[in-house]
Amino acid sequence: MKILLTSHGSTGDIYPIIALGKALLKNGHIVRFSCAPLFKDEIEQAGITFLHLPPDWKQEVFTECMRELDRQPNVLRLLRQIYRSGLPFMGELIDRMDRYIAGHDLVIGSYVFPHIGVLAEKHQVPFAVVVFSHNVVPSKSNAPEFVPKLRAFPKWIRERWNRLAWCMVSGIIDMTVNRVIHPVLREKNLPKMKHFLLKPADLCIVAVSRELMKGVCVSERFKTVGYLRNQTAYDPEIEKELDAFCQGEKVSILNFGSVSFDHIEGVMSRFEKYWEKGKKIILQSGWAGLSLKSFGNEFKTIGKMSHNQLFRRASVVIHHGGAGTTAAVFHAGKPQIVVPHFGDQYFWASEVCRRSCGLSVPQKNWPELLPEAVSKIQKQKKYLQNAESFAAILAKENGPACAAKIIEDYVAHR
C-alpha cells in the first residue's frame, strides 16, 4: 500500500505518527509523512519520506504558539486558538494535501484535524485518524469531561444520558471550529466540519494502553491498540554526563516537554528557592528553554534526549501531563508528579492518580508544592510498586504492530 500520514502541532502530535509509520514500513508498505519542516529530520531518520506542509516556522514561533495555548482558560477557547493559529496558512495546507492524497491507498491523520478526511473522500481514498487520549472517545459507559455523570441513576438512564451528552459536546465543538475555519473551507469548496468527536473517520486508532480502556464500551470504529512511541537515538555523550552527575543514584527529573508559559524566569526562580538544598534533580529544558540562574551541584540541565534513556535514572518524573510524556513514564515504571497546563493534560493527571502511579499538583503554585509531593512519593512505596506493575503490563503491548495490522485489515475489507 501507499500510505500518506499527516499531523500538526508539537512533538506529542508527531512522534506517535512516526512510530506508526515505522511499523507500516516494516510491513513492506510505502509511507510518506506530510508535515511542517520542523520535524523533517525526525521523519527522515525513521526512513519515512517527508512531504512539506506549512507552516515554515522556526522553533521559537512554535514555542510562542504553545505559550498562547497555555493562556486559554477552557477547552473551547483552546480549540479556537489552535485553529486560529493555522488560519494564515490553512488554504495552502489544504491545496498541498489535495495534491499529496492523489495516488495513495490510505490517508492517516490526527483526530484534531478530521477535515482532512473530506479531501480523502474527494479522491475516494480511505481515511483513518489516530487518537492520542481516550477522554475524547465517545462511550455510553462514560460522559464527556465537564458533564454531570449521573452516578446515582440506574445504568440505562446513565447510558442514554452519556450518548446524548457526547452528541451535544460534539455538536458544540463542530460549531466552535466551523466559526473559525468555515471561510477557508468555503473558499476551497469544502463542506463544514461535522461529527468532530462522534465520527472523525471510519477507523479511529486509539493510541493508549488497552489496560486504561478496560470496562469502557465504544463503537466499532474505535480500535484501542496500545501506545505509539517513537524514541530519539541513544546519546552516549549525554550518558557520560548523567553518569557523572547521578553517581549511581536515582534522582528526580523535571520535564515540561513542548509546553511553554508566561513568566518562565520567575517561575523557575520560585522552583529553585523551594527545592530542597542538596537534593539532585535533572532539568530537561524542553521547548520553553527551562533553566536556572544557579548551577549548584544538585542541578543538571540537559537538552533533547530519549525518554527511555533519561527516565531509567529517575526516582520520580515531574512533568506537564502530555500524552506522550505520560506514556513514557508509565513504560519506564517510575512514579510521576503531573503539573497540568492545558487541554488533555488535566485528564492525564487524573489517570495517573487513578492508577495510583503518582500525584498531581496545580500549575499556579507548583514550585511551592513540589517538594512536599516528591517527599510523599518517596515515603509511600505504593506509587513505585504500582508504576512498576503497570509497566510490566505495558511491556506486553505492541501498539505500532497492532495498529498496522488493524489498518491493513481495514483497507483489505473495504
State the residue range of the domain holding 337.
Answer: 236-394
Residue 48 has what DSSP assignment?
Answer: P
Cell output for 79? 480549540
136 with 151, same domain: the answer is yes
Q: What is the CA radius of gyration of the chain?
A: 21
pLDDT tens profile 219-233: 999 999 999 999 888
- Indicate the length of the chain as a whole number: 414
Structurally, the chain folds into a number of domains equal to 2
pLDDT on residue 215: 85
Helix (H) or strand (E) run with residue 175 in it: helix 155-187
Secondary structure class of 107 (helix, strand, coil):
strand
314 with 329, same domain: the answer is yes
242 with 182, same domain: the answer is no
93 with 149, same domain: the answer is yes
pLDDT tens profile 338-371: 999 999 999 999 999 999 999 999 999 999 999 9
334 with 381, same domain: the answer is yes
Dist CA 43 CA 25 (whole Å) = 12
215 with 195, same domain: the answer is yes
215 with 249, same domain: the answer is no
pLDDT on residue 230: 93
Alpha-carbon separation of residue 58 from 6, 37, 62, 67, 287 (angstroms) = 19, 9, 7, 15, 12
405 with 390, same domain: the answer is no
pLDDT on residue 399: 97
Dist CA 285 CA 287 (whole Å) = 7
Say if residues 87 and 392 touch (Cβ distance below 8 Å): no
373 with 270, same domain: the answer is yes
- Of 125, 123, 94, 90, the closest CA to residue 108 belongs to 125
Given a cut of 70, the residues of the chain with pLDDT beneath it are 295
Dist CA 204 CA 114 (whole Å) = 11
Alpha-carbon separation of residue 180 from 83, 142, 168 (angstroms) = 7, 29, 19
pLDDT on residue 232: 84
Say if residues 75 and 57 touch (Cβ distance below 8 Å): no
**Cα dihedral 235→240→241→244 (10° resolution):** 160
223 with 362, same domain: the answer is no
Dist CA 200 CA 127 (whole Å) = 9
Say if residues 330 and 317 touch (Cβ distance below 8 Å): no
345 with 368, same domain: the answer is yes
φ, ψ at 402 (rounded to 5°)? -65, -45
Question: Which CATH number do you get for residue 303?
Answer: 3.40.50.2000
CA neighbours within 13 Å on the CB side: how many for 272? 19
119 with 198, same domain: the answer is yes
